Structure 1
């Protein structure tokens, strides 16, 4: 049986050494898959050394994690950063070295993956022919691209595309800043594919090109080779590394049941009728004919009594209908349906029309607060909504419904920098992976209502993780920008 993971690295067409390395292996007695792409920073020798230090720490610390998976990943990143710093202190020739890294641990059995990330290596998720960028680039150009200020093409050709502001071994900010290592977890459904890669791929092959290769009906090995070949064919300016991990479990397919045609039904009914007729003629004993009832001489009295009954019944029905008409006339006429205000219509239209991954909403583009008299619907498969400024969604005093409803087909939704005010239910979702970042719920009775949908009349085996939201008590510290570029 072929493995459900594969990794490959290539020097490229320009450089003579390879500062990239990767991990693609099973851990925890083959229950999990550990995948990582590590890209060295700092010159001819330094980058390779830093990347190898991180590689060795990751393998050692995560082969059998003893605590929470994400906590173990963070600790591995911290240890790698410390070891790189120690090596730099020993050898002054390596004082500029560091590395960036993206890591994922896939739990195929439980349909879940976890990730940790620092720098501009990347993590993508392919699901249902749609490629979603999971990690955020820790660079100025990456920020501009993720926020929609730069197109992908402009970012790929930006002169500062290789300048990063986070790396392992640059500073000790990783020890004090909880947001230094980007982490998360998400569903990993049957058929899903994770791609971890260095910027040697994404600087030269756009998202559409990557998607076209990942959706080929070939093995993981061939997909990895095709990605590297595409980068080299576009110039191969940098080392190129890719790691692929797939949830290779079979998707549950509903069994089709052929409909019974009318002709078959009629034939079956005819057969049943013939069978009953046969039994009636052959099996049942003959009975004596029933004697006919004698005609009564009181037929006139019977007719009179029947007419009186009909008259009484008609009078009763007439009185009842008259009472109903009076009651209906007394009922108030319902008010016409409330119309949405222009502000919320504009917001709903912006959500519906957006086709990318990250929708940026500026408070200056909408009158604040946005008063909702009806539900905002989000139906995209994957969407990250990031608000700028003081963006408030507030309930209209006569509205009783939820602020936001996530559609039944949504899979991964993120909300950032949004305030919900005065709602009975702020967010209503079902079987959706929801990420909240710096979101406030002011006077909301139920901030998030999760309508978990499970199959009926089936044995369910799953894990429903406990949610432990962390309140943002202070703004995260901004790490010092490292010297040099990659």
Structure 2
């Protein structure tokens, strides 16, 4: 069976920030969200550089090895960050998360690094398909592997939930999590920055994704809920609905949102 995706994207500065350091992309073969960091301008440059580099993947051509192709593209984007850092010492602290999906037919590759998130709504259930690369999650994993231990102090866990141990920042050994998935008609994917997932709980995300059939309206509702919750950070979401190719007569132009939209020409 040949499938296609119906997509939507949106980004909002939030209620407390002076600039939008998030970037998002949605096209017929590629969806991606990047949440930049590193002070004023740094985060914008990092996220828009990575999204700008990856968008060449959104081409009307099949890929022999999706995981390898996406992994190589992420490495190339990280190399571009290294070059920018060398040219702009004032941006030496910049970095970005990245969650991206690349399609060929029913096969889809997922690349993830940082604490942006990927969700899958399938058969009436919502699954988080990425793992946050934060220090509190790392400590939880280590405790589980060691056979359990005392529960972490809630205040310490909250502090560590904002500390990332893996991002794209132009340095070596910045490997994303890579996996291959199967896209099924009826699947709905959401990629979002933590400005959305950190404010809107999973149950509410589930309810919106189920209730709003139109992907653009779903994105707008989720962004609105994050703003209603205080909007402490930039808010970006991308939705892709997997449909049978015959049901999609026209996919429309690619969508670029957030910081990348300001640099895209």
Structure 1 pair 113/145, CA: closer, same or farther in 2 (3 Å)?
A: farther
Equivalent residue for 1:46, pick from 42, 48, 53: 42
Q: Deviations over 1:22-62 (max 9, x none)?
A: 11012xxxxxx210001111011100001111011101245
Aligned to 2:249: none
Q: Which structure: greater helix fraction?
A: 2
Aligned to 1:465: none
Q: Which has the larger radius of gyration?
A: 1
Alignment of 1:104-119 (within 5 A): 104-107=101-104, 110-119=105-114
Separation in 2, partners of 1:35, 1:142: 25
2:161 is the alignment partner of 1:164: no
Separation in 1, partners of 2:150, 2:207: 23
Aligned to 1:134: 129
Check whether the contact 1:201–1:231 (CA below 8 A) recurs between aligned residues: yes
| CA displacement at 1:65 relative to structure 2 | 6.7
Structure 1 pair 129/69, CA: closer, same or farther in 2 (3 Å)?
A: same
Separation in 2, partners of 1:50, 1:79: 13
2:78 is the alignment partner of 1:76: no
Separation in 2, partners of 1:150, 1:221: 44
| CA displacement at 1:67 relative to structure 2 | 4.6
Aligned to 1:93: 90
| CA displacement at 1:213 relative to structure 2 | 0.7
SS of the equivalent of 2:211 reads coil
Q: Select the structure with the greater relative contact order (CA < 8 A; seq sep ≥ 6).
A: 2
Separation in 1, partners of 2:221, 2:62: 33
Aligned to 2:237: 242
- TM-score using structure 1 length: 0.45
Check whether the contact 2:24–2:34 (CA below 8 A) recurs between aligned residues: yes
Equivalent residue for 1:34, pick from 24, 30, 41: 30
Instruction: Give the alignment's Cα RMSD to 1 decimal.
Output: 2.4
In structure 2, runs of 5+ residues without a counterpart are 246-265
Separation in 1, partners of 2:72, 2:182: 23
Structure 1 pair 218/65, CA: closer, same or farther in 2 (3 Å)?
A: closer
- TM-score using structure 2 length: 0.80
In structure 1, runs of 5+ residues without a counterpart are 27-32, 175-179, 251-486
